[in-house]
Every structure is written in C-alpha cells, then in structure tokens.
Amino acid sequence: MTTRILAQIVLPALFGLVSLLAASGQSNAQLFETRAQQAVLLDANTGTVLYTKNADDTVPPASLAKMMTMEVVFNALKSGRLNMDDEFLVSEYAWRTGGAVSGGSTMFAELNSSIRLEDLIKGVIVQSANDGCIIIAEGMAGSEDNFARLMTERARNIGLEKSVFKNSTGLPAEGQVVTMRELAKLANYLQREYPDLYKLYSLREFTWNKITQRNRNPLLAMGIGADGVKTGFTEESGYAIVGSVKRDGRRLIAALSGMTDERTRAEEARKILDWGVRAFESYELFKKDELIGNVRLYGGEMLTVPVTVREDLEILLPITERDRMKARVVYQGPVKAPVRAGDQIAALKIWIGDDLSQETPLYAAESVGKGPIHRQALDAMSELVLGWF
C-alpha cells in the first residue's frame, strides 16, 4: 500500500465561519507588530496559536532552559521518584560553576552543604539560580551532562521536536537551542500537568542563606494576571521571556526573544498579552461527538469511516478576521481496516490565513471491520494506480 498524506475538506458549514480558501493574503504578522525577533502567542484553553513571528527559529535558550530543568524535576515528583524533603549535596563543581564565585545568577548555596529539594526549586524558579540547577542535575543524574540528556529526552516525550539541551542552566553551550513555539508549548504543559508546582512561578521573592532576591519576571508586578514564567538573556540572541497570564477564565502564554534590553522585553511581553486578551473572540466549532468528516479506509467493509472530536472544540479568532479561517481533516492513509470506535486516525487542522492556528486529534466515530477479499483486492488495485500517478 502506498502511504501518502491526504487532505479532506472539513464539513463546510462550521457555523458560517470556515472559509475553504484564504479570503486574503494578509499575514498574521500584519495583525500585530512586535520588536521581538521571534514570538508566539498561545491560548492555553483551546490550543489556538494566536500569533507567530519566526516562531520556529532555533535560538540559544539562556535561562529559559530552566523551564525544562523544572519539567524533569516536576515529573520526578509527580511519579514519586523524588519528594520535596529530599536533600542534595552542593559539590565543588556546582559551587564554582553556578555559585557566588561564578558571577552569574545564584542562590548562594554553600559548598558541601545539603539543601532540601523544595528550596532548590524555589531558588531556580525565583532567583534563576545556576547553582540550584546544577545541584539538582548532579543529584538526580550523577552529572550535568547526564541530566541534559534527560532534558532532551523529556522534551521529545512531550512533543518538543527541535529543542536540544546541553546543560541544566542555559549557560552558553554549542548545540543548545530552543524555539519560541516550543517554549510556549512547554509553559502550557507545566501549568496543565503540574498545577500545584506551577504555582511556585508566581512567587515574588525568595530568601536563602539570609539573602532575599526578587523574581526577575517583570510581568508579576504589573497587575495583569501574570503568574509566570521565566526570563533569559544571551549576547547572541538578546533578551527573552516566556510569560503567562490568566484573565477572565482565559490563559494566554507568550514567548518572545531577540529584544535589545530589559525595558523593551517587559513592554513587548505586556503588549502582546494585552492584545491577545482584547482582540480575540471565542467560537464554538463542534460539539463533543459531533461528526466532522470522513476518512478513507483500505480493505474495510465500508469505504469510509466518520470522525469526531472527544471534547467540545472552540477556537479564538481575531474580531476583524473571521472570514480568514480554513480547516481540513488530515490523515495518512487510506487507513487500514479494521478500525475501532475511538481510535485516533486523523487530525483537524485549522489555519488563519497562512498560519496553522490549531490542530486537534480526530477519532473514529464507529467501528468498521475488514471487508471481503474482493473489497481488499479492489482497494489494493486502487492504491497501486494512485501510486503510479
């Protein structure tokens, strides 16, 4: 059987909102302007990507890498492999590379002391502590190199395909890269999968070793509903931030990089988040279990099987751009029979103009068994002919 990507136009009614072709050539970038070189704005509730600008460019992560460090730790806590009272030893390497003598962000951990994991996590989240990251990395994986491999492995497990980590801190390292799209996705994953631990990102300050340091995230003090996440800076890629706000029942996540200074970073982050709250409206596209389209089958007792969504499906659209949405059922196939009701066999992809805005899994609405031998033979011949073309 020849395998290929097939696209089937979604049912066209879609409450009058779906255009089968883009209505204009206007790009996403023209809807909003930012001084960031790379940017993405994500609506966490619906998964709608509201804005992108070079969102898939790979850039050095700087301290934004510490979000992935925390994901590895949070995952270990959730699974029971670690608990908050576990103590970790401060090695000479951690002290020299990330401690007070290093000149970088630090929680001033003392050489050869032992520190509770809860305090280390707060040091990393609030104080962006390099020593805290390395202490955790060595305690969990034996070395920072081993821990960095765990970070990249976890990144792949949660769907981050481009991000590569070489250390736990985000300090400059060859081959260490992220994208703003993937960091926004990571922030969304953290707040969704670890809600109690994610709350630590809203802490305004933390005191360790009799030294109080304030959270470096400028959004927390703006009164805009911000509760995370992280800032970063490298000479190569400039100032960066991943910010999250929750307002009026909605959560928006912005990831921006390539800004020239701290003030611009704060201004651009607030501007894009405010715009996201005010410039979009929510639309219900499909109800749970509503039939959306049909997927072609290979060797089945029926030629096609209907597909549906498991939950009510909503999307956010710019209030001035309702006619620029297009949607398609996309799958790799034909899908080989038998198919059981509930099998994930396709996806609904939705574009706003030329920008992929949302992708939602689609599931078989009913079971379809294998067809008779002559049906399988006809489908095989059809695939062969299509393969020639």
Residues 242 and 360 in one domain: no
Helix (H, G, I), strand (E, B) or coil at 23: coil
Tokens of 225: 């509903």
> Can you tell me the distance from the alpha carbon of 90 to that of 111, in angstroms, rounded to the nearest whole number?
5
Residues 201 and 114 in one domain: yes
Q: Are residues 237 and 299 in the same domain?
A: no
Task: Tell me the sheet residues that pair with 53.
Answer: 39
Tally of structural domains, the chain: 2
Answer yes or no: are the C-beta atoms of 238 and 259 closer than 8 Å: yes
Same domain, 126 and 247: yes
pLDDT tens digit at each of 389 positions of the chain: 332 333 433 433 333 333 333 333 344 546 789 999 999 999 998 888 999 999 999 999 999 999 999 999 999 999 999 999 999 999 999 999 999 999 999 999 999 999 999 999 999 999 999 999 999 999 999 999 999 999 999 999 999 999 999 999 999 999 999 999 999 999 999 999 999 999 999 999 999 989 999 999 999 999 999 999 999 998 888 999 999 999 988 999 999 999 999 999 999 999 999 999 988 888 888 899 899 888 988 888 888 899 999 998 888 877 766 667 788 888 887 788 899 999 999 999 988 777 788 889 999 999 998 866 544 445 444 443 334 43
- How far apart are alpha carbons 354 and 359 in whole angstroms? 14
Domain check: are 71 and 8 in the same one? no
Are 252 and 354 within one domain?
no
The CATH number covering residue 380 comes to 2.60.410.10
Active site (catalytic) residues: 63, 66, 128
Q: Which pLDDT score, from 0 to 100, does residue 315 have? A: 82
One-letter amino acid for residue 26 of the chain: Q
CB contact at 8 A, 65 and 234: no
With 0.85 as the threshold, say if the pTM is over it: no
What CATH number is associated with residue 261? 3.40.710.10
| Cα distances (Å, whole numbers) of residue 254 to 43, 46, 102, 258 | 9, 15, 31, 14
CA 190: distance to chain centroid?
Answer: 9
**Statement to judge: residues 298 and 274 lie in one domain:** no
Nearest-10 crossing angle of helices 144-157, 130-141: 90
Q: Which helix (H) or strand (E) holds 259?
A: strand 250-259
Q: Which domain holds residue 43?
A: 33-278
Tokens of 207: 């005191």
Q: Residue 341 CB: number of other CB atoms within 10 A?
A: 12
Residue 230 labeled ligand binder: yes
- Separation between Cα atoms, residue 265 and residue 66, nearest integer Å: 18
Q: What is the largest CA-CA distance in the chain?
A: 80
123 and 235: one domain?
A: yes
